[in-house]
Homo-oligomer: A and B are copies of this chain.
Amino acid sequence: MRVFIAGIDGYLGWPLAQYLTVRGHEVAGLDLLLRRQWVEEVGSHSALPVYSVDERTAAFQQRYGRALDFRVGDLLDYNLLRGFLADFQPEAIVHLGEMPSAAYSMIDQAHTVFTQQNNVTGNLNILWAMKEVCPQAHLVKLGTMGEYGTPNIDIPEGFFEVEFRGRKDTLPFPKQAGSFYHWSKVHDSNNTMFACKIWGLRSTDIMQGVVFGTQIDEMGSDPRLRSRLDFDQCFGTAINRFCCQAVIRHPLTLYGQGYQKRGFLPMRDSMECLALAVENPPSAGEYRVFNQFEECYTIEELAYIVQRVAADNGIDVTIHHYDNPRAEKDQHYYNPDRQRLIDLGYKPTHDVATEVQVMLVDLLPHRDRILQKKDVLIPDIRWDGNRRRSEVADLPSLP
């Protein structure tokens, strides 16, 4: 299949281009390289070196024996996007081209507005361009499990049957996102559901959990083919950040008690799930939602796993609780479904420790890069709109 990747330079976009190529698909993609700028703006860099577009595409050609149509350009440039899609005539579009950080969206008015304008407009442009030049294509759009928040009932995959005052209907499951970034993803989901309804477009909306990992097997050992790996407060998500902290023997930073429960999945599972979605399109007019994660863990459980695997490698790290800069429940019910990808053949790996072992081995050679930027490991962007560095908190253990 011809697959277009919006955000092909990113943490997931770059490995996905390779994974889909290995599975026999023809890949093209667009990226404005903004992720590189944002991480620099927040005072950090990737733990694994990131190579230039020319170096990446040269390495791609070398390993996979074909040229990659990787264009540097802006999703917000509608004519550019529409022209690219009209030329390439994708059968699937994977939309990874958004600003993906909750904390970044909460910095101030300008960052909130940038996040929502960038994400909502980019997604609207994809919908309009599909309608105009490739209405049969299948949009695999990345949402996030964070769209749902933490309701006190089970989380179905997108829709549920409701009985209310004696009548029934099947309705979109209510969203309760936890940052202006997460809300931008909800806005995108809503706009996409609507476009499928009125224009007969087809879309799979992936409510993805938090991805961790430094590699997929397909990449091989060429460093130019490796993905980025961020560890700062904005772009470094829990396990990735813990692994970077471990290799420099920095305490693992839990926000609050660490009993927040979330869905997680290794990069290799993310790639498999996205490929399954791409290869099994819905029918015209269908908007379907997949919850995509391997398993739910508390953040504390994950910190303990990283601590244990680090110890196996002779690295002793402590775990510190910091006052939580976010507004989120520390203890809550959490039971999301994730059946639809399993029905398509997804086999969850169920082995965080093995993945963490791979990550530590990959990260150890880059210890100095992480040390250079160790100031970014403690959060100071707070959901109350003030900037103050979190401090170690003496939090009571749960009974």
Q: Which residues of A contact B (CB under 8 A)?
A: 78, 108-110, 112-113, 116-117, 120-121, 124-125, 128-129, 131-132, 151-154, 156, 160, 162-165, 167-169, 171-178, 180, 183, 186-187, 190-191, 194, 197-199, 327, 333, 383-385
A164 to B190 alpha-carbon distance, docked (Å): 22
- One complex includes copies of this chain to the number of 2
Q: Which of B129, B153, B156, B186 contacts A168 (CB 8 A)?
A: B153
B168 touches A172 (CB 8 A): no
Q: Are B177 and A194 in contact (CB under 8 A)?
A: yes
Q: A109-B129, A153-B164 known; 19 other A-B pairs, CB under 8 Å? A: A109-B125, A109-B128, A113-B125, A116-B124, A116-B191, A117-B121, A152-B169, A153-B162, A153-B163, A154-B165, A162-B174, A171-B174, A171-B176, A173-B174, A177-B190, A187-B187, A198-B327, A198-B383, A199-B384
Expressed in whole angstroms, the Cα–Cα distance for A169 and B385 within the complex equals 29
**Distance between Cα atoms of A108 and B132 in the complex (Å):** 10
- Which B residue sits closest to A163, measured CB to CB? B163
Distance, CA A125 to CA B109, complexed state (A)? 7
Query: Given A187-B120, A385-B199, are A180 and B165 neighbors across the interface (CB < 8 Å)?
Result: no
B residues within 8 A CB of A384? 198-199
Interface centre among A171, A177, A383 (most CB of B within 10 A): A171
Assembled-state Cα–Cα distance A285/B139 (Å): 38
| 7 nearest CB pairs, A to B | A109-B128, A152-B169, A171-B174, A153-B164, A153-B167, A187-B187, A198-B327
Contact between A169 and B151 (Cβ–Cβ < 8 Å)? yes
A336 to B: closest C-beta gap in Å:
12
Given the known inter-chain contacts A116-B120, A117-B121, A124-B116, please indicate yes or no for A194 contacting B180, CB distance below 8 A: yes
Whether A121 pairs with B113 at a CB distance below 8 angstroms is yes
**How far does the Cβ of A109 sit from chain B's closest Cβ, in whole Å?**
4
Is A172 touching B171 in the complex (CB atoms < 8 A)?
no
Instruction: Verify B180–A152 contact, CB threshold 8 A.
Output: no
Contact indicator A153/B165 (Cβ below 8 Å): yes
Please give the distance in Å from A281's CB to the nearest CB on chain B. 22
Instruction: Give the distance in Å from the alpha carbon of A168 to the alpha carbon of B151 in the complex.
Output: 9
Q: How far is the CB of A287 from chain B (nearest CB, A)?
A: 12
Q: Cα distance A180–B195 when bound, in Å?
A: 9
**In the complex, are the beta carbons of A152 and B167 less than 8 A apart?**
yes
Q: Smallest CB-CB separation from A108: which chain B residue?
A: B128
